[in-house]
Amino acid sequence: MTAVTHQAQAIELSGSRSIEAANDHELLAAIRDGDEIAFQELVRRYRNPITNFVYRMLDDYDRAVELSQETFIRVYTSASRYQANYSFSTYIYRIATNLAISELRRRKRRKMVSLFSPYTNDDGEAVEMDPPDLNVLQDEALIANERRHAVARAITSLPQKYRAAIVLRDVEGLSYDQIAETLKLSEGTVKSRINRARNLLKEKLSAYI
């Protein structure tokens, strides 16, 4: 039934409608039929949000680009198995989240710990040592740059389980139910994690709020 629907969507896509007007599910159906243009359109739509999301998770731009590409490769190679039960954005964010979390775990195993993170808390998570900068900043660009770095450091210092939830919510703007689907958690758990993450971030970023 699903295959028939996808086939119909693909036929419709290759017919009268332009590829820009097609929704994500239609593009996936076209990709399944070997349409490279549809895949390029899908990449165009999501490459920046996915790259930004992974970058916020890792605070490593080069690796974020690599993992973003890996996300699209997985979308392409598993297009035949995709089931349109929920939104495609949830699906692709889930792939990206899993890749980012795997990367974080790999880094943790390799003990790639920032110089700012010499301590661990009771849960064994790295806790950033972020002493307040008392220097007076006079240039607005410098202030903005410093604020940006402070936010990035504060996010990366969060425990892993809070990090994905807060980035998906407050950086990428996903709804609670989308985050719950992406992380395969209940909505209540997602709300709890976001609340905890905000409380932690409030302490770290109080100087900038």
Partner 1 sequence: MNSCKSIRELIDEADNPNLLPFEVSQHVDACRDCERFSTERAGLRNLLGSGLRVTAPMNFDAMLAARLAETRNRGWLSWLVPANYFRLGAATAGVAALVMVAQYSGLFSSSLTPSQQATVATTKSNQPAAQSTQPPVADAGIVADNHVQRERVTPIVIGPRVGSSRLAAVTIGRVRPRETVSSDDLGVVLVRGQNGGSDVQMPTVSLGAQPLLYVSAGKQQSSRNVGASF
Query: Residue 1 or residue 209: which is nearer to partner 1 going by CB?
Result: 209
CB of 186 to partner 1, least distance (A): 14
Dist CA 155 CA 18 (whole Å): 40
CB of 110 to partner 1, least distance (A): 20
Residues 37, 19 contacting (CB under 8 angstroms): yes
Q: How far, in whole angstroms, is CA 15 from its chain's centroid? A: 34
Query: Residue 8 or residue 144: which is nearer to partner 1 going by CB?
Result: 144
Dist CA 54 CA 96 (whole Å): 7
Residue whose C-alpha is closest to residue 183's, from 168, 197, 198:
168
Q: Where are the alpha helices (DSSP H) in 78-174?
A: 88-109, 140-156, 160-166
Amino acid type, 147: R
Beta bridge partners of 120: 126
Residues 93, 121 contacting (CB under 8 angstroms): no
Dist CA 53 CA 46 (whole Å): 10
CB of 6 to partner 1, least distance (A): 21
CB of 201 to partner 1, least distance (A): 6
CB of 196 to partner 1, least distance (A): 11
CB of 68 to partner 1, least distance (A): 7
139: left (phi over 0), alpha (psi -120 to 50) or beta: beta
Where along the sequence are the contacts to partner 1 (CB under 8 A)?
Answer: 40, 43, 47-48, 51-52, 55, 61, 64-65, 68-70, 72-73, 76-77, 147-148, 151-152, 155, 166, 170-171, 173, 175-176, 191, 194-195, 198, 201-202, 205, 208-209
